[in-house]
Structure 1
Amino acid sequence: MLDRAPVLRDRPEMNDPLSDMLAMVEARSLLSGRLVAGGTWGVLFPPPEKIKFSALLWGECWLMMEGAADPIRLEAGDVIVVNGQRSFTLTSDVDVDPVDARELFRDAPDNVARIGVGDEVSLFGGHIALDAVRADLLMNVLPPLIHVRSARSEAGVLRWLLEQLVGELGAHRPGGALASSHLAQLMFVQVLRAYLATSAHSSDASWLRALADDQIAPALRLIHANPSRSWSLEELSRASAMSRTTFAARFKEVSGVSPVAYLLAWRMRLAERALRHGDAPIASVALSVGYTSESAFSNAFKRSSGMSPRSYRSRLRMGQTDEDAPA
């Protein structure tokens, strides 16, 4: 049976597509440092080229994002996530000439940078480490800025996580580094949840927007729960309580692709991970993602990645990545 295929049997069980996607890109939250400021100050953060998050522990400041018309007021408990493609400035006054964050943090003791006079404001920040091969799967669907205000209903959990994180950072207890890392990971997931709660009305089609759409979410859960099954449009539309025509149109509107294209793309992502991280025979990988024929799987994989499964595995083991693959 398909569900007994080795690659599927060893695959961690996931309860929802978001967990699947975060596992696929191997998203891990890493704490970078803290900023303590007072008086008149400003810090410019160049485009980090990675997903970066910051939380305001206490005080207030302005956020100015490259390309944004107006500054944003941040208050204690607010959390921001930037997708890494734009610079941004945190400042006490929008007219202040900021210093470069790289210079400020370069020699900061214990990675705690101080600027201005006093400690009226304190922030901590970090970034999301991603698998280099699949980083774009997440980075390309995030907006330039996600801002979760402390007053929002979804921020209650974030406030609790912030309190726990501050406690861990200050207590220096055994296991504190691991606990802090897990708390930061939970914060990132909670920020994504808060974003999903408001992104259903976005006009940008992507898998992330699809996760926020209550109408097609049941179908997505079916696909992710059993990607090796040959799901029919009838089965998926029935799960979403829509006609096939309405379901297909809605799915493409919010995700940007058809249900069949989504299923095939997800199968290829699972196959790529299996080839990167395991030694299962190609036939077993093929079976795990719904192909009873190794040749049919190889043809589908080559259409997706530009090379055969064996070549893909060989290139990775020689230290090469997708960037070396032909277009």
Structure 2
Amino acid sequence: MAAPRSSPAPGNAPRRDFVADALELTAVRCASPRCVTGAGAWALAFPAPGRPTVQAVVRGTVWLTVDSVEQPVRLEAGEAAVLAGDRPHGLASGPEPPVADAPAPVRPSTAGPFLHAGVEGRDAVVLDGRLELDPAAEELLVGALPPVLRLGATTAEAPAVRWLLAQALCELASDRPGASFALGNLAPLLLVQVLRALLTHRGADNHPADLLRALTDERLGPALRLMHDDPARPWTLAELARAAAMSRTSFAQRFKELAGVPPLVYLRRRRMRLAQRALRRTDAPLSAIAASLGYGSDSAFSTAFKRTTGLSPRHYREAGRSTPDRPAPG
């Protein structure tokens, strides 16, 4: 007779990778990767990209300025920076833009994949790429990032960021077969590095509450595991607080401080993200999707989905097939 299977002790249970879970539900692509070069005394100004932006210095020294950030950031070859993307920024050969070559604003429509400033030559080379995410994930990431996050050359993320941006630019410039597929697969890897940098390099002056802090918080971990493992169950605040070994009041307060939303709101949003993915990627009937997420009827599911995204599940699915992996706001 076979021996009964034993369950791992709670303390030995494998730790869930919540960041990987979040990435699974995030549609992301690298938009308009480009190479910026400069020589002599030069400066360029860029409007707020509206999306998280990653930059890596390949050659020379570059000074990065971000609107409302008091001091310019010096970036040497091998270093990188992540920008929240909600403010105008500039690149220059020195901390003070040269008077004779005032920073001309560069619009995305005129930037192209290669952009040069100053005299002839390549004293500085910077690789630049914007991350386009689905609206809910983009709002989360922009809210979590400081205006500028510097990655020193010795950090684990800087070399990976530089390599990924170089590959993205190469694919865009070469226009080889499969280039769009390659770009699509490089973007999630770039986002992984951004998330790792954000989690690793937080200082004492933590940015406002964000979901990433909740996902890696040991006290909230057991409750988050329950919501991730069985999102269809009608979890109560008392059950989730008990899993975290906290009072309901303390649990709800800590969860909102770290995640920015109450626990049951987070659960509802996760259900909607799962529904969006199922509608984009499968042909499962609406009734099956509704049941898998704990909704007792199609109408209840449709009402909740439309309240979150502004579209009925059927219309959302139809729209997704014409523009894949670009979910409606939610």
TM-based fold match above 0.5: yes
Deviation for aligned residue 1:19:
2.9
Look up the match of 1:62: 63
Look up the match of 1:10: none
User: For residues 239-258 of structure 1, what are the structure 2 equivalents within 5 Å?
Assistant: 239-258=243-262
In the alignment, structure 2 segments of 5+ residues that lack a partner are: 1-15
Could you give the per-residue CA deviations for residues 139-158 of structure 1, whole angstroms, max 9, x where no partner exists? 54243534232156xx2243
Which AA in structure 1 matches 2:126? L
* In structure 2, C-alpha distance between the alignment counterparts of 1:314 and 1:262, rounded to whole Å: 26
* In structure 2, C-alpha distance between the alignment counterparts of 1:124 and 1:32, rounded to whole Å: 7
Aligned length: 303
What is the DSSP-based 3-state SS (H/G/I as helix, E as strand, rest coil) of the residue aligned with 2:127? Answer: strand
* In structure 2, C-alpha distance between the alignment counterparts of 1:298 and 1:248, rounded to whole Å: 28
In the alignment, structure 1 segments of 5+ residues that lack a partner are: 1-14
Look up the match of 2:106: 101
Correspondence 1:191 to 2:194:
yes
Which AA in structure 2 matches 1:120? D
User: For residues 56-205 of structure 1, what are the structure 2 equivalents within 5 Å?
Assistant: 56-93=57-94, 94-96=96-98, 97-102=102-107, 106=111, 111-117=113-119, 118-131=121-134, 134=136, 136-138=138-140, 140-143=142-145, 145-151=147-153, 155-160=155-160, 162=162, 166=166, 182=185, 185-199=188-202, 202=206, 204-205=208-209
Correspondence 1:263 to 2:264:
no
* In structure 2, C-alpha distance between the alignment counterparts of 1:262 and 1:214, rounded to whole Å: 17
Deviation for aligned residue 1:279:
3.4
* Aligned residues with identical type, % of pairs: 39
Look up the match of 1:282: 286
Asked if the contact 2:168/2:186 (under 8 Å) is kept, the reply is no
* In structure 2, C-alpha distance between the alignment counterparts of 1:77 and 1:52, rounded to whole Å: 17
Could you give the per-residue CA deviations for residues 119-157 of structure 1, whole angstroms, max 9, x where no partner exists? 2211111111334x54644454243534232156xx224
Deviation for aligned residue 1:62:
1.1
* In structure 2, C-alpha distance between the alignment counterparts of 1:35 and 1:55, rounded to whole Å: 10
Measured on the aligned residues, the alpha-carbon RMSD in Å equals: 3.8
Asked if the contact 1:55/1:77 (under 8 Å) is kept, the reply is yes
Cα 1:165/1:90, change in 2 over 3 Å = closer
Asked if the contact 1:61/1:73 (under 8 Å) is kept, the reply is yes
TM-score normalised per structure 1: 0.75
Asked if the contact 1:237/1:247 (under 8 Å) is kept, the reply is yes
TM-score normalised per structure 2: 0.74
Asked if the contact 1:37/1:115 (under 8 Å) is kept, the reply is yes
Asked if the contact 2:18/2:216 (under 8 Å) is kept, the reply is no
* In structure 2, C-alpha distance between the alignment counterparts of 1:205 and 1:103, rounded to whole Å: 31
Cα 1:229/1:197, change in 2 over 3 Å = farther
Which AA in structure 1 matches 2:122? D
Deviation for aligned residue 1:63:
0.9
